[in-house]
Amino acid sequence: MRLYVDKRMLAAFLAILAGTLLMACFVIQWLVRLHSNTALVGKQVEKVVSIGKIKENIMAQSQSMNMYIISGKPEHLADFRQLARANARLEDELITVIRDARKPLARNIKILNEEYNNYCEQRVVPLVTKGAGLPEELKWQLFGLNNELLRAVDTVQEMRLADTFAVAGTAVANSRRVMAVGVVFTVLGLFTGIFASLATSRKFLEEHGFYRSILRTTRNAVVAIDRKGIIKTFNQVAEQIFEINRSAVLGRHYAYIFSDEKTENWVKCVFPIPEVMAHGRGICSQEYYLTAQDGWEMVLNVDCLPLEKEKSGTGVILIAREITERKALEEKLYGLTLRDGLTGLYNHSYLQKALNREVKKSIEQNKSLAFMLLDIDNFKYYNDHFGHPAGDELLKEFARILLKHTRASDIVGRYGGDEFGIVLPDSDYRIAWRIGERLRCQIAEHPFQYKEQLPGGSLTVSIGIALYPQHAAGVRDLIKMADEAMYHAKRNAKNRVQVYFAAIGQFQNILSKSRGDLTNSLRAIGDLIKDKDRYIFIHSTNVAEYAAALAGDLQLPPKEVALIKAAAFLHDIGKLEVPGEILFKPGKFEEAQWRVMKQHPRWGCNILASFDLFREIIPFVLHHHERYDGSGYPSGLAGEGIPLGARIIAVADSFDAMTMPRPYKRNLSLDEAILELHRNKGSQFDPRLVDRFIQILESRRESICRVISEKRSREPVAIPS
């Protein structure tokens, strides 16, 4: 390392060398004072090194305790205790040598360190020894104690550095006086000056050798910059960290080296050197990320401190230490607080935070979001019969399936017990239902251990889904509605995906009271439809009668006729989910409103899926708006590809809609309606069914005309047979 000697000190040394013999005693007196100041500086440096050693031990203690918490290995605990004993000795020495005014600060360090050690021994070590995880509150308390201790040490260390700089300044001032005396008596004090210079030079070299040893042995990168911004010191650790040779740095301006702009010798890292120079106040414990030439990203903890304060500015000393491993350990510990200990999935707390975050993002991006709750069917039975260890293995295997069959953007977590939650960003009804159905099938088909011995011979899952903002205005309601949908699926034979719908509570009551009877279920659902919209109830009743008449005329089996009639009665049940401002809007829909309205067949199927006895009629309800030419919705089916029941309902539905009065349109007469059916035969309707239906209408013309006339009463009217 190159030595830079202050020119004023060199001048003082030469002046002493040429000092006067007549004033030898006077010169010697000042030399003794200079020697005393130099010794005082050395002592101050030792104090700085002492407090620095205490800080390093505290950081090493914290690292040892963190490693012990993670691994539970006794050697880490032994290191922790050894460092605690060493620090206790150093702290006692500090209390002894420190000035009286600062003894309370030194005692505070000792008290805080003892409090930290006792906390670790009494609270942390017993839990780790038992193999129990640390509670979140305990981790934060431990972290807070360690930070408070480090802040106390930093306070004393900064005072020590300030003292050192002050003593050094005093020594320089005294040297100036020695220089002045020496110049006056240069010739007369020649021999005395030679003797004094020999004694002083030895001490001078010893002190510089000591400082060089500190810079060479410290594990910190040290960069000293004078008040003009010129780099004066650049130690070996700085060379290693910044990957640059000191010969290319010394004597150069710091802005040329530490910059955002690429230069020949360049470190892409900007430190607060200008701020410290301008204000003379240190900036400590700042973290910076530095990418090495091989791509390795390091984390540096940097102190930027003023060297001296003058009117013309101040120099700066930059002290940087690599804390990459410590930072990785801290992040690992933080990561443990976000994960479920058994499954490795996100825990309940993080799932709540993630859901709040994604809802805000959905609002900003004007996108839909889905939240899914999954409950393992018969998990209590599994635990009771095969033991909790087997249940734990089941939960871990279940978690792996969820991760494997969800998207990278989905957030999967354990909600609690045997319940799991999944946040599905940017997902609408179709996407959420498709993911839920995929998970349900994968879980039902997976070869879980003991699955054959469970009720039904398989392990299944009940899934509830709620959408934001379609179903809920906030996170709390979204979770509540997903939970209601999951509970509904679980009550209804389990092993199913249930998307939330507004009347889910009422349908649960219907489900419990109907006891699987089709007639009772239809009657109860009819009352529900009537409460929502009397027109839909009247229209559904009429369509059921028309559809049953057409199905009977086709000589279909009585059971199939009954199913088609039930489907016709329920074909518009999905409109229970359509917002009132759209459902009751007079006139033509806007494009966005029409997209919502076109969802009602799917929503109807979602509602009917709650009932096993309606499973056979779901295709009729889903496809009753398909067109014969393939231009309908929701699936674009065409011709014979459309289920027969759906094609029958399409004819009956359209006919009743044309002849049903509404406030915003006139109802058609029988002849007008028949003409409209003819016009759309082959495009919207099955031609064969239209011809048969028109035959039915013609054969009952008088009574049908009376029915159309009586529809103005807006009450359901039985179709004459």
551, 561 contact by CB (below 8 A) = yes
* Structure letter (DSSP) for residue 156: H
Q: What is the mean pLDDT of residues 361-379?
A: 93
Sign, CA dihedral 48-50-53-55, equals negative
From 51-65, 99-113, 324-338, the region with the lowest mean pLDDT: 324-338
Which CA distances in Å does 364 have to 149, 353, 356? Answer: 43, 17, 13
714: confidence class by pLDDT, cuts 50, 70, 90 = very low
DSSP three-state, residue 623: coil
641: confidence class by pLDDT, cuts 50, 70, 90 = very high
DSSP string, 543-579: HHHHHHHHHHHTT--HHHHHHHHHHHHTTTGGGGGS-
620, 643 contact by CB (below 8 A) = yes
68: confidence class by pLDDT, cuts 50, 70, 90 = confident
96: confidence class by pLDDT, cuts 50, 70, 90 = confident
Q: Is pLDDT larger for residue 575 or for residue 396?
A: 396
Strand partners, 231: 225
Q: What is the mean pLDDT of residues 641-660?
A: 92
Sign, CA dihedral 382-383-385-390, equals positive
Distance of alpha carbon 324 from alpha carbon 328, whole angstroms: 6
Q: Is pLDDT larger for residue 258 or for residue 170?
A: 258
620: confidence class by pLDDT, cuts 50, 70, 90 = very high
Sign, CA dihedral 97-99-103-106, equals negative
Is the pLDDT score of 5 beyond 60?
no
Average pLDDT, the chain: 80
Residue 151 has what pLDDT?
81
98, 65 contact by CB (below 8 A) = no
Residue 503 has what pLDDT?
60
Distance of alpha carbon 505 from alpha carbon 389, whole angstroms: 37
Name the token pair of 347: 């825990």
Which CA distances in Å does 198 have to 16, 129, 162, 180, 209? Answer: 10, 63, 31, 19, 17
354: confidence class by pLDDT, cuts 50, 70, 90 = very high
Q: What is the pLDDT of residues 158-217, one digit of tens each?
A: 776 777 777 667 766 666 666 666 556 555 666 665 665 665 666 666 666 776 777 777
Sign, CA dihedral 608-612-614-619, equals positive
Q: What is the mean pLDDT of residues 498-505?
A: 71
Is the pLDDT score of 482 beyond 90?
yes
Is the pLDDT score of 719 beyond 60?
no
- 155, 197, 227, 189: which is closest to 11 by C-alpha? 197
Residue 516 has what pLDDT?
55
Amino acid at 389: P
Q: What is the mean pLDDT of residues 631-646?
A: 93
636: confidence class by pLDDT, cuts 50, 70, 90 = very high
**Greatest mean pLDDT among 143-147, 582-586, 671-675:** 671-675
Which CA distances in Å does 463 have to 339, 351, 371, 438, 496? Answer: 22, 17, 10, 11, 6
231-234: strand order across its sheet: 231-234, 221-225, 316-322, 297-306, 283-291
Residue 128 has what pLDDT?
80
Domain boundaries, the chain: 1-217, 220-337, 340-477, 501-721
Name the token pair of 579: 């917002």
Residue 29 has what pLDDT?
63
Whether the ω angle into residue 619 lies within 30 degrees of 0, i.e. cis, is: no
Q: What is the mean pLDDT of residues 283-290?
A: 84
- 374, 382, 370, 425: which is closest to 401 by C-alpha? 374
Is the pLDDT score of 79 beyond 60?
yes
Q: What is the mean pLDDT of residues 677-692?
A: 93
Distance of alpha carbon 399 from alpha carbon 344, whole angstroms: 8
- CATH number, domain 220-337, options 3.40.50.2000, 3.40.190.170, 1.10.3470.10, 3.30.450.20: 3.30.450.20
Amino acid at 339: R
4: confidence class by pLDDT, cuts 50, 70, 90 = very low
Q: Is pLDDT larger for residue 709 or for residue 560?
A: 560
637: confidence class by pLDDT, cuts 50, 70, 90 = very high
Residue 691 has what pLDDT?
93
DSSP string, 333-392: HHHHTTB-TTT-SB-HHHHHHHHHHHHHHHHHHT--EEEEEEEETTHHHHHHHH-HHHHH
Q: Is pLDDT larger for residue 46 or for residue 284?
A: 284
Q: Is pLDDT larger for residue 455 or for residue 654?
A: 654
Amino acid at 614: F
- 560, 565, 536: which is closest to 662 by C-alpha? 536
306, 158 contact by CB (below 8 A) = no
Name the token pair of 453: 């011995």
Angle at 673 between CA 672 and CA 674, to 5 degrees: 90
- SS3 per residue for 62-120: HHHHHHHHHHCCHHHHHHHHHHHHHHHHHHHHHHHHCCHHHHHHHHHHHHHHHHHHHHH
Distance of alpha carbon 486 from alpha carbon 494, whole angstroms: 9
Give, rounded to a whole angstrom, the gap between the first and last alpha carbons of the chain: 112
CATH number attached to the domain at 501-721? 1.10.3210.10
- SS3 per residue for 241-269: HHCCCHHHCCCCEHHHHECCCCCCCCECC
Is the pLDDT score of 646 beyond 60?
yes
Residue 507 has what pLDDT?
60
Q: What is the mean pLDDT of residues 345-361?
A: 92
Please name the residues in contact with 555: beta carbons below 8 A apart, sequence gap of 6 or more: none
Distance of alpha carbon 652 from alpha carbon 279, whole angstroms: 86
Q: What is the pLDDT of residues 654-678, one digit of tens each?
A: 998 888 876 556 778 888 889 999 9
Q: Which class is 340-477 in CATH?
A: alpha beta
Q: What is the mean pLDDT of residues 512-517?
A: 56
Q: Which class is 1-217 in CATH?
A: mainly alpha
Note if the pTM is more than 0.85. Answer: no
DSSP string, 497-552: EEE--TTHHHHHHHHHHHTT-HHHHHHHHHHHHHHH-HHHHHHHHHHHHHHHHHHH
Phi, psi of 138 (to 5 degrees): -65, -40
Which CA distances in Å does 612 have to 407, 509, 562, 604, 606? Answer: 30, 15, 16, 14, 12
411-416: strand order across its sheet: 411-416, 419-424, 369-376, 461-468, 497-499
Q: What is the mean pLDDT of residues 399-427?
A: 94
Which CA distances in Å does 588 have to 534, 579, 625, 633? Answer: 21, 16, 18, 18
Cβ count near 95 (within 10 Å): 16
| Sole residue written with tokens 């909790």 | 388
Amino acid at 437: E
Distance of alpha carbon 221 from alpha carbon 362, whole angstroms: 46
Is the pLDDT score of 2 beyond 50?
no
Distance of alpha carbon 77 from alpha carbon 135, whole angstroms: 19
DSSP string, 197-232: HHHHHHHHHHHHHHHHHHHHH-SSEEEEE-TTSBEE
- 283, 285, 418, 423: which is closest to 350 by C-alpha? 423
Distance of alpha carbon 668 from alpha carbon 657, whole angstroms: 9
Residue 3 has what pLDDT?
41
* Structure letter (DSSP) for residue 134: P
Q: How many CA atoms lie within 13 A of 662 on its CB side?
A: 17
Angle at 275 between CA 1 and CA 146, to 5 degrees: 80
Given 3-state DSSP classes, what are the helix, strand and coil percentages for the chain, each rounded to the nearest 5?
65, 10, 25
Q: Which long-range contacts (CB under 8 A, 24 or more apart) does 70-78 make?
A: 70/329, 70/332, 70/333, 72/128, 72/129, 72/131, 77/125
